[in-house]
Structure 1
Amino acid sequence: MVHETVVLSFILLSVIVALAILATRLRIPYPILLVIGGILLGFLPNLPDIHLDPNLIFVAFLPPLIFTSAWFTSWRDFRESLRPILLQAVGLVLLTMLLVAWVLHTIHPDLPWSVAFILGAVVSPTDTVAAGTVIKNFRLPHRLTTVIEGESLVNDATALVAYRFALAAALSGTFSPGAAALQFVLVSVGGVLIGLIIAWPVTWLYQRIDDATSEIVISLLTPYAAYLFAEALQLSGVLSCVAAGLFLGQRSATLLSANTRLQAGAFWNVAVFLLNGFIFMLIGLQLPDIIAALSGMPFLTLLGHAVLICLAVIVIRLIWCVASTAIAKMLSRLIPSFQPITRWRSALLIGWSGMRGGISLATALSIPLTLPNGAAFPGRDVVIFLTFSVILATLELQALTLSPLIRLLHLGEKHTSGNEYRVAVRTILEAALQRIEELQNEEWVPKDVAMALHRRYEKRIQDLRMFRYKWKGSQPSLERPKAIGRFYYEILHAKRLAAIDLRDSGSISDEIFHAIEHDIDLEEAQFHRGKMP
């Protein structure tokens, strides 16, 4: 058994890597090929059955993926875009649940309303993993990316609470809207508080540990602690991970050493790729079992129902995004402070970015097999099939057409990234020059090193003013390592503080901040390897 599992894991991992390389060559998001590859693998003869345990998604895969996504989310952009994010994550999710339930009950009147609401809740949230993985392939304006990814981080809480109440209604036959609304507030607020409570001792640990390996292990344990603790209290594990990730990510510049950030970045890049790869591959592998469970129903009927549900999910989102933007624009004429966050072109793209993924399928698979009286749960196989159809349609159709849509709408990032980066680097270099001038008369400072760095930074500032950013060559290691190390630490510390000030004041985005932070980290690592940064 263990040998078969290892061999199967090796095969899946090999296919994941091969398809990811092919996706890079074809310049398409790799989840598209991974789902197709999983479907094809699932129909191969003699391949062992691979059943997706919902707990594998919820407990093993979801916490670290949500946590890392929140870690690198710009808190400034997230806060400024909170209104559209919450409108999407709460309003759109509830509307989608209601209308999808109505469509399913219309085409499948023999199914109870509670089962129809279960499907609506299952397919209503966009997927954090799918949205983040697909969107990062395109250069979109920061605000647009923040709304799409922020919505996918938050809307799972709404959908999972709605799912729990729809499932309870199916099992017990009762439903209370007031109780549902109260539980939603308690679950959401409680989940956020648990995430912050978990993040506080982690911050304390980071401040007292200077070991890259231990700090990386702590970063791996944190999302699981946040998720499991919240779920044990019947609160939102998803929002707990989001809160912990946002809190720690905003403070990582001062909590983690340069060495830790560089090593952690490499570790998490690989970990996120593997987790994403297995999720999308496992989604595709479920299709044979899903079809087999519905062998008694006419295929064309199933296909027709799937098309209608997929159209409903896609059209509802498009109408909501465009309409909410138009309403916000009208309100801005009456209330000047109420400015729309997005324009109609951006709203159209947000509406077309509603990819569903592993969370929806895991939720559908978690529907119990039987009712309390022992009877089979009505429509369970139909709900799972329709959920898979929505995932397949949104991932394959929408993700494949995002690139031409972005070009058609002229929404590629055209602006200020380059200028913003150059201005930020120049400000940081000027802070370093000021610190050099403050320290150069100190007895412990090597004068030749101070002069060399001063000339180098002045040259880089001059290059930036000429819209060039090139710095080639390196100088050999110098003697007096303690004095030189202390001196370089002071300079790099001044640059890092200047970068943090620019980020915290809102002068630069978190994306630019992380790019500059990476440069400073590399500069420090290069010095530790014996080279002049």
Structure 2
Amino acid sequence: MLHDFPFYLGLIVAIVFLIMLGNRIRVAYPVLLVLFGLAMSFVPGIPSVRINPELIFIIFLPPLLYEASWAISGKELWRWRRIIGSFAFVVVFLTALAIAFAANHFIPGFSLALGFLLGGIVSPPDAVSAGAILKFVKVPKRMSSILEGESLLNDASSLIIFRFALIAVATGQFIWYDATLTFFWMLSGGVAIGLAVGWIFILIHKHLPTDTNIDMALSIVTPYMMYMAAEEAHTSGVLAVVSGGLLLSSKRHVFLSSSSRLRGINVWESLCFVLNGLVFTLIGLDLPEITSGLGDVSISAAIGYGLLISAVLILGRLLSAYGAVVVTLIARNFITVADRSNPGMKVPFVLGWTGMRGVVSLAAALSIPVQLADGTPFPQRDLILFITFIVILVTLLVQGLTLPFVIRKIGLPDFDHPITEEQAESEIRKQLADHALLHLKNNYSEEVRNQPFLRQMANKWEEKILLKDETMLPDDVKIVYLDILDQQRQWLLTKNSEEETLNEEIIRKHLKYLDLEEEKLLFI
């Protein structure tokens, strides 16, 4: 393994450059990385890459889910809980059902159980792909919230279907009442274990003498502990990580210091950046391993099956999106729904078109055992792997490359916010300053009179309140301010190098202050 280290090191460098290229040409990086991996797989002399499914499920999946659960808004998740739940559970099941019947009817040698197995593998859309694409276009907040919430839960529901289908194929029977009890245990047990482990880590952070570095180390360990504890109890590790992550996210201001919260954002963004890049590149690099086991099935026939399943997936999600709107329009007459307006034909189409598949699908396919318990080869394993790869490739290329164009062409309205984001930020800043000034004058009036620093703070807040049209800082002013900060930074570095006896920690503190000032420009 050591002699392949330069290859993997170069791979990471190539991933970084490809992501920068994707940002430059405004193409979602999962598309570029899969194509890059696919092209690399044909280069002679490239080390053989075999993806271990345990590597993805244990090493990659928990931190990616955990970071996503911290990033999502709990308020938005609850607001759109019905449609999120529908897409994450009902739509995933109906998709798996459609795939099962299509595979059983059109693919020779596919039983319904094998069809359900394939359906459980390819039914969950990939959150990373959709997020990377939506970064380049503006969509209503409700849509991004629904997609983020769906992505947190659909992996769990699809993997549950996958496990039941795997048992049915291996044993040749399906006991519905046993499966029902197992299903509810996987749901409730996964959530309970995630919440329990989350509370344990909250207590550790609160009552033990941790610092920022220890907080970061514990945060990295947390999702793995949640996932492994749930899997050991034969429940859903995905739901454990999601539920525990949502709990810790909602309590982050209770048990984490401001320094830990700031550093945690950088640590987790960098970690997930590397993990996502590696996963999508490895998907492309694994093609030779996938095609080598097709056996009697020709490449052209296997590609045809993959295109068929891709078409069923795309059409099924589009129909589900419009079906969800119809159900909501009917249900609003009987129950309270989050939104009573008619979204029209545009929103469901965009929501249905965001169905790119990715890492979880490939990992599930790879986790199919090579042999059954009696030693016979697992039926259609290699063909399922190839179809899964084709589905990932087709949905990333077809939907991934066209989604930005579709969104811009349709022109989605922002239903949720009657004022612009800049106006909302300005209003919040004014109200925040008003609240702070009122608290200062009511509780610390004597200190304000005697302390120059507090008087300066009060004057600053009064200026914000009186400012009639506080808008975003003009670009030309930002350029001047950035130049001043850069000159201050250079002066500090020069002073540090010229004065040998000067404590460098003092210089570093002032450099950090300048960095924070520069970061503030993102919010003013």
TM-score, structure 2 length as denominator? Answer: 0.86
C-alpha contact 1:193 1:240 (8 A) present in aligned 2: yes
The amino acid that maps onto 1:198 is: V
Residues 1:312 and 1:388: Cα distance change in structure 2 (over 3 Å): same
Residues 1:212 and 1:305: Cα distance change in structure 2 (over 3 Å): same
**Structure 1 residue 93 displacement after superposition:** 0.9
**Structure 1 residue 221 displacement after superposition:** 0.8
Aligned positions, number: 480
**Structure 1 residue 442 displacement after superposition:** 4.0
Query: What residue is the counterpart of 2:357 in the other structure?
Result: 356
Residues 1:339 and 1:75: Cα distance change in structure 2 (over 3 Å): closer
C-alpha contact 1:39 1:287 (8 A) present in aligned 2: yes
Q: Verify: 1:438 aligned to 2:442, yes or no.
A: yes
Residues 1:340 and 1:107: Cα distance change in structure 2 (over 3 Å): farther
**Structure 1 residue 440 displacement after superposition:** 4.4
The structure 2 residue matched to 1:452, chosen from 446, 449, 456, is 456
The amino acid that maps onto 2:433 is: L
Q: Verify: 1:212 aligned to 2:212, yes or no.
A: yes
**Structure 1 residue 339 displacement after superposition:** 6.0
- For residues 245-298 of structure 1, the C-alpha deviation after alignment (integer angstroms, 9 at most, x for no partner) is 111112213332222222111111110100000010111111122122225422
C-alpha contact 1:123 1:390 (8 A) present in aligned 2: yes
- Distance in 1, Cα, partners of 2:179 & 2:134: 33
- Unaligned segments of structure 1, at least 5 residues: 476-520, 528-533
Equivalent residues in 2 for 1:107-506 (5 A)?
107-208=106-207, 209=209, 211-294=211-294, 296-332=296-332, 334-335=333-334, 337-338=336-337, 343=343, 344-411=345-412, 415=417, 416=419, 417-442=421-446, 447-463=451-467, 465-470=468-473
Residues 1:231 and 1:128: Cα distance change in structure 2 (over 3 Å): farther
Aligned-pair identity (%): 33
- Distance in 2, Cα, partners of 1:446 & 1:206: 38
- Distance in 2, Cα, partners of 1:129 & 1:190: 26
- Distance in 2, Cα, partners of 1:43 & 1:524: 45
- For residues 176-218 of structure 1, the C-alpha deviation after alignment (integer angstroms, 9 at most, x for no partner) is 2232222221101111111110111222223244511111111
C-alpha contact 1:406 1:412 (8 A) present in aligned 2: no
The amino acid that maps onto 1:418 is: E
- Distance in 2, Cα, partners of 1:132 & 1:70: 14
- Distance in 2, Cα, partners of 1:180 & 1:424: 51
Query: What residue is the counterpart of 1:489 in the other structure?
Result: none
- Distance in 2, Cα, partners of 1:132 & 1:66: 13
1:293 aligns to what SS in structure 2? coil
2:109 aligns to what SS in structure 1? coil
The amino acid that maps onto 1:211 is: D
- Unaligned segments of structure 2, at least 5 residues: 486-511, 519-524
Name the stretch that deviates more: 411-420 or 146-155: 411-420
**Structure 1 residue 140 displacement after superposition:** 2.1
C-alpha contact 1:210 1:257 (8 A) present in aligned 2: no
**Structure 1 residue 381 displacement after superposition:** 0.7
Name the stretch that deviates more: 195-204 or 451-460: 451-460
The amino acid that maps onto 1:433 is: L
- Distance in 2, Cα, partners of 1:157 & 1:382: 24
**Structure 1 residue 413 displacement after superposition:** 5.0
The amino acid that maps onto 1:166 is: A
**Structure 1 residue 433 displacement after superposition:** 1.1
C-alpha contact 2:66 2:242 (8 A) present in aligned 1: yes
**Structure 1 residue 62 displacement after superposition:** 0.5
The amino acid that maps onto 2:328 is: A
Residues 1:11 and 1:296: Cα distance change in structure 2 (over 3 Å): farther
Residues 1:445 and 1:109: Cα distance change in structure 2 (over 3 Å): farther
C-alpha contact 1:258 1:525 (8 A) present in aligned 2: no
RMSD: 2.5
Query: What residue is the counterpart of 2:61 in the other structure?
Result: 62
- For residues 42-68 of structure 1, the C-alpha deviation after alignment (integer angstroms, 9 at most, x for no partner) is 111001101000011100011011001
- Distance in 2, Cα, partners of 1:9 & 1:299: 29
**Structure 1 residue 526 displacement after superposition:** 6.2
C-alpha contact 1:329 1:340 (8 A) present in aligned 2: no
**Structure 1 residue 525 displacement after superposition:** 6.1
- For residues 119-171 of structure 1, the C-alpha deviation after alignment (integer angstroms, 9 at most, x for no partner) is 01111112233333433443322221111111111112211111111111111
2:169 aligns to what SS in structure 1? helix
The amino acid that maps onto 1:299 is: I
The amino acid that maps onto 1:252 is: R
Query: What residue is the counterpart of 1:11 in the other structure?
Result: 10
Name the stretch that deviates more: 354-363 or 447-456: 447-456
**Structure 1 residue 307 displacement after superposition:** 1.2
C-alpha contact 1:460 1:469 (8 A) present in aligned 2: no
**Structure 1 residue 449 displacement after superposition:** 1.1
- Distance in 1, Cα, partners of 2:71 & 2:513: 19
- For residues 350-383 of structure 1, the C-alpha deviation after alignment (integer angstroms, 9 at most, x for no partner) is 1111121111101001111112222211111110
Residues 1:157 and 1:45: Cα distance change in structure 2 (over 3 Å): same
- Distance in 2, Cα, partners of 1:443 & 1:407: 55
- Distance in 1, Cα, partners of 2:386 & 2:54: 19
Residues 1:35 and 1:412: Cα distance change in structure 2 (over 3 Å): farther
- For residues 450-491 of structure 1, the C-alpha deviation after alignment (integer angstroms, 9 at most, x for no partner) is 22112212222333x31324498799xxxxxxxxxxxxxxxx
Query: What residue is the counterpart of 1:498 in the other structure?
Result: none
- Distance in 2, Cα, partners of 1:146 & 1:220: 25
Name the stretch that deviates more: 165-174 or 434-443: 434-443
